[in-house]
């Protein structure tokens, strides 16, 4: 097949872009950023690089649009023709392009959100808390709706699972580019010098190009803590109180800001970063203490700066805004403990009593950060008490807008984050606990592992004493299979502190992961609540209990369809048990970023939960690329939190619970048929003799271990002879890189074929939220897959039978999903999502072709007994990073 002329190439690209129906402003951004990258490539000093990138780009677009074997073969031949060095450069160029396209798409989202200016969409109650409140009040009345709003809780937990392929330096460069893109928009609106803005973007894109895209070594747990702190500093610290403010503004109308808010802080942020030691030997008790210290420093610095800033602006004269008696008493107490600073502040602000107090409070927060015992606060409750004295004094003096303005947002920040910022959670495997207890019961000197396990409990006690009880105390037990697994935690805590001493307060959380464990969960819970220490903790917390459900391992255990159905049934059973037992249940969802690990849109998933499984409380893990995608930009973070909180509020509405209950009953026979058929189909693949080695052949699974993603090892043992040896993240990541995405869909086609009734399944898609969520997630997973690329990966293996099984199931699943959703192609009912996938697909194909050539070269060298070529390894890892950027997910 001949190469298109320049005119034909321009026409081809133009038609491809037009077919995607990209919004005009976003199209302009993509073209501008792409042109600037092209200029950087031409100026790079590598002769012919720009032309080679264009050749492969045009070829993959033609292969994508023509869908002919000849066009695909031509694109593959171009990728094969490059030298390794040139292929390396081309892979870097396509990866940089994806970063720029992702940035343009994010910028378009932010642009739309700002144009809406936070106004709720009254047509869709799931878009904001304010709209959800109106809908809920129409069903249960204003008072009940307000009670539920004020009891609302959204609890994201950031994890350090290795799923962020970008270096932090690259992420930082992209954030700088985001600011420059905003400046460029402003220059267009204001008639300013557009060329200056473009020059600065060109400089930053050149920096991005010259920044090494791969980490030289794996990050340490402390590095991972600091990466998460960047999200807090840049967005969360200010974004969360802005969400509260937006909701209060909508609900109170013109009176907002002049009277006490009706909204109570409903976000709590948790973290496993530095606390999750399950399978990660690098997370020690010392690391856990260091993680808490870093988080505390960040939040205290934020509170100190905010308090000081508000204090400097609170220039209210005593004549117009007289202090209350309580404020005067507070000043006297503060001045007595910090005489020199009080005298200086009083001299600079002689008749501004509220200003003086806040400036002294800022000094006390600074002293808390510096561990100055003479001035430091003992806990955040004492700071809150002082701030409320200021607020009450302002209200009494008639300065309500100052009381409920920025000062209120500071109060919300203290209530949300305390002095700890994130509620650090510890996780350990039940088998480790059992081994250590057996060793301790046998007597003798404890081993190094036993000493480390005991040190963790001592660290928890230390953190609770230093930063408050919310700082640490949740302890998750991986692979909980019996009540004894949970009781073991309390036994270990007693061993750690010694006889006669009081162990730290512990909320022991079972994590049910496998299919069998999910089914056994209600029985285990019914037993453990009678354990003396567990029961005592329940009584102390008002019978609150958290239960964690693992999406990743259950999906790897029985396949995505059976796992989703099993998770629903487990939640329904646990929720029913909690209702009967008078337990205030919070289900903790261990959802990964990828669809094969329970990922996907959170708000639609929340609305599909069983009755009483949410009840105004929702907790989930957020990890890797998902953290930065959802919380990296302030506008997007506020939108995400608002939408999730709206879904939490609506999930327990009578109409939503009725819909889920009736749908589950109506379609129970369909669910049973799908469960059995999908599981049998999944087992026919993963339990086939030799499947695990074949999986390693047809995906870059082994090579992914070379990528410096996170501190945690990718596997549980030294080799992968079965799926049990492999963690869920590389299982999903490897299938994603191979453009098969098997972990997100395999078995669904057979399940739907077994049901066989197209009209019934179409009705289920409309009436059954769980089924709709499953189908929509699979549609997304399949849309990001590619048959032609997948076949080339499958050809790397020596099992035609297994390869045929995969391709047959992929075709069957795609056919049924399109039929069920009533369209003619995948994501036909979600045009914005479809556009985003289609826009990237040919460019991802280019990187996949480069990855395939590197993979073949490495495998051929291994077969010859030769050492791996470092340049080919680097090319492979570059392509992995690029594909992850293009597909916008890893594991």
Active site residues: 161, 556
Sorted by sequence, the CB contacts under 8 Å of residue 72 that are 6+ apart come out as 63, 788
Residue 75 in contact with residue 845, Cβ under 8 Å?
Answer: yes
CA distance 163 to 595: 13
- Write the DSSP symbol of residue 507: E
User: How many distinct helices (H) and strands (E) make up the chain?
Assistant: 40, 8
Q: Of all helices (H) and strands (E), which one includes residue 547?
A: strand 544-550
DSSP string, 730-741: HHHHHHHHTT--
The radius of gyration of the chain from alpha carbons, rounded to an integer in Å, stands at 28
CA distance 268 to 81: 53
Q: Of all helices (H) and strands (E), which one includes residue 271?
A: strand 270-271
- How many other C-beta atoms lie within 10 A of the C-beta of residue 655? 12
- Look at the chain and count its residues: 891
Tokens of 704: 């992914």
Sorted by sequence, the CB contacts under 8 Å of residue 465 that are 6+ apart come out as none
Distances, alpha carbon 878 to alpha carbons 214, 519, 639, 853, in Å: 7, 42, 32, 13
E strand spans, 777-864 = none
Please choose, from the candidates 280, 326, 279, 298, the residue with its C-alpha nearest in 3D space to the C-alpha of residue 228: 298
CA distance 731 to 265: 38
Q: Estimate to the nearest angstrom the gap between the alpha carbon of 313 and the chain centroid.
A: 36
CA distance 836 to 275: 36
Phi, psi for residue 823 in degrees, rounded to 5 = -115, -165
Distances, alpha carbon 111 to alpha carbons 105, 163, 185, 603, 834, in Å: 10, 28, 10, 22, 20
Please choose, from the candidates 345, 289, 340, 287, the residue with its C-alpha nearest in 3D space to the C-alpha of residue 314: 345
Handedness of CA 530, 534, 539, 542 (dihedral sign): negative
CA distance 656 to 662: 10
Residue 850 in contact with residue 879, Cβ under 8 Å?
Answer: yes
Please choose, from the candidates 269, 156, 164, 298, the residue with its C-alpha nearest in 3D space to the C-alpha of residue 219: 164
Q: In this structure, what is the dihedral angle of CA atoms 726, 727, 732, 735, given to the nearest 10 degrees?
A: -20
CA distance 65 to 59: 10
The strand pairing partners of 472, in sequence order, are 424
Spell out a b/e string for 354-377, using b for 16 or more CB atoms within 10 Å of the CB, else e.
Answer: bbbbbbbbbbbbbbbbeeeeebbb
Q: Give 842's Cβ-side CA count (13 Å radius).
A: 25
Please choose, from the candidates 681, 853, 846, the residue with its C-alpha nearest in 3D space to the C-alpha of residue 754: 681
Sorted by sequence, the CB contacts under 8 Å of residue 684 that are 6+ apart come out as 805
Please choose, from the candidates 590, 554, 605, the residue with its C-alpha nearest in 3D space to the C-alpha of residue 776: 605
CA distance 876 to 136: 52
CA distance 667 to 608: 14
3-class SS string, 300-327: HHHHHHHHHHHHHHCCCCCCCCCCCHHH
Cite the DSSP H helix spans in 406-469.
406-417, 430-442, 448-467
């Amino acid at each position: 097949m001949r190469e298109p002329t320049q005119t034909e190439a321009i026409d081809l690209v133009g038609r491809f872009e037009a077919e995607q129906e990209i919004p005009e402003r976003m199209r302009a951004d993509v073209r501008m950023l792409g042109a600037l990258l092209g200029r950087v490539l031409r100026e790079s000093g590598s002769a012919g690089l720009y032309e080679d990138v264009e050749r492969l780009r045009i070829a993959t677009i033609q292969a994508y649009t023509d869908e002919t074997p000849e066009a695909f073969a031509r694109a593959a031949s171009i990728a094969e023709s490059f030298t390794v060095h040139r292929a390396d450069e081309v892979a870097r160029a396509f990866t940089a392009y994806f970063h720029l396209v992702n940035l343009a798409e994010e910028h378009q989202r932010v642009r739309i959100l700002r144009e809406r200016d936070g106004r709720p969409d009254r047509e869709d109650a799931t878009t904001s808390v304010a709209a959800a409140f109106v809908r809920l009040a129409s069903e249960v009345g204003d008072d009940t709706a307000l009670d539920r709003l004020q009891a609302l809780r959204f609890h994201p937990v950031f994890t350090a699972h290795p799923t962020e392929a970008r270096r932090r330096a690259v992420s930082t460069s992209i954030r700088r580019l985001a600011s420059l893109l905003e400046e460029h928009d402003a220059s267009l609106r204001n008639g300013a010098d557009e060329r200056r803005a473009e020059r600065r973007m060109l400089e930053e894109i050149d920096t991005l190009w010259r920044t090494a895209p791969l980490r030289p070594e794996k990050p340490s747990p402390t590095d991972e803590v600091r990466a998460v702190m960047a999200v807090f500093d840049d967005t969360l610290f200010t974004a969360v109180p802005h969400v509260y403010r937006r909701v209060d503004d909508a609900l109170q109308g013109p009176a907002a800001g002049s009277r006490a808010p009706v909204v109570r802080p409903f976000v709590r942020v948790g973290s496993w970063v530095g606390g999750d030691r399950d399978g990660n030997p690098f997370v020690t008790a010392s690391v856990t203490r260091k993680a808490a210290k870093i988080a505390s420093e960040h939040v205290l610095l934020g509170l100190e700066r905010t308090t000081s800033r508000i204090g400097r602006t609170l220039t209210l004269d005593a004549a117009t805004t007289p202090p209350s008696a309580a404020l005067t008493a507070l000043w006297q107490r503060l001045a007595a403990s910090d005489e020199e600073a009080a005298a200086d502040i009083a001299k600079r602000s002689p008749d501004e009593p509220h200003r003086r107090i806040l400036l002294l409070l800022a000094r006390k927060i600074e002293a808390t950060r510096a561990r100055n015992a003479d001035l430091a606060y003992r806990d955040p409750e004492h700071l809150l008490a002082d701030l409320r004295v200021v607020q009450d004094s302002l209200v009494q003096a008639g300065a309500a807008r100052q009381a409920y303005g920025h000062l209120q947002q500071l109060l919300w920040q203290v209530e949300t984050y305390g002095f700890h910022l994130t509620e650090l959670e510890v996780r350990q495997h039940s088998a480790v606990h059992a081994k250590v207890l057996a060793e301790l019961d046998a007597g003798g000197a404890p081993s190094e592992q036993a000493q480390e396990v005991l040190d963790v409990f001592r660290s928890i006690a230390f953190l609770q004493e230093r930063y408050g009880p919310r700082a640490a105390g949740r302890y998750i037990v991986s692979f909980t299979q019996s009540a004894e697994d949970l009781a073991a935690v309390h036994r270990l805590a007693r061993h750690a502190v010694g006889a006669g001493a009081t162990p730290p307060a512990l909320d022991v959380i079972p994590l049910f992961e496998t299919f069998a464990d999910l089914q056994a969960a209600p029985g285990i819970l019914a037993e453990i609540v009678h354990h003396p220490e567990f029961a005592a903790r329940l009584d102390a917390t008002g019978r609150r209990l958290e239960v964690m459900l693992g999406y990743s391992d259950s999906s790897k255990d029985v396949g995505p369809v059976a796992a989703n159905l099993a998770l629903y049934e487990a939640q329904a059973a646990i929720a029913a048990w909690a209702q009967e037992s008078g337990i205030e249940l919070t289900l903790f969802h261990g959802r990964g970023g990828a669809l094969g690990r329970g990922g996907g849109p959170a708000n639609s998933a929340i609305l599909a939960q069983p009755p009483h499984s949410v009840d105004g409380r929702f907790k989930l893990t957020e990890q890797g690329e998902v953290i930065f995608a959802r919380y990296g930009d302030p506008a997007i973070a506020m939108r995400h939190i608002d939408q999730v909180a709206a879904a939490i509020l609506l999930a327990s509405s009578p109409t939503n619970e009725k819909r889920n209950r009736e749908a589950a009953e109506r379609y129970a026979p369909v669910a049973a048929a799908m469960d059995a058929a999908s599981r049998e189909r999944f087992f026919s693949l993963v339990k086939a003799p030799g499947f695990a080695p074949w999986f390693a052949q047809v995906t870059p699974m082994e090579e992914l271990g070379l990528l410096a993603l996170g501190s945690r090892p990718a596997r549980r043992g030294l080799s992968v002879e079965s799926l049990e040896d492999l963690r869920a993240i590389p299982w999903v990541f490897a299938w994603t890189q191979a453009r098969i995405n098997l972990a997100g869909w395999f078995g669904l086609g057979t399940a739907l074929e077994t049901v066989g009734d197209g009209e019934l399944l179409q009705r289920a898609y409309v009436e059954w939220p769980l089924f709709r969520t499953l189908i929509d997630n699979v549609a997304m997973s399949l849309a990001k897959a590619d048959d032609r690329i997948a076949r080339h990966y499958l050809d790397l293996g020596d099992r035609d039978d297994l390869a045929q099984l995969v391709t047959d199931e992929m075709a069957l699943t795609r056919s049924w999903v399109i039929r069920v959703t009533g369209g003619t192609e995948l994501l036909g009912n979600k045009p914005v999502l479809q556009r985003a996938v289609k826009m990237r697909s040919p460019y991802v194909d280019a990187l996949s072709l480069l990855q395939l050539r590197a993979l073949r070269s490495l495998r051929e060298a291994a077969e010859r007994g030769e050492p791996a070529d470092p340049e080919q390894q680097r090319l492979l890892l570059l392509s992995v990073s690029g594909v992850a950027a293009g597909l916008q997910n890893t594991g």
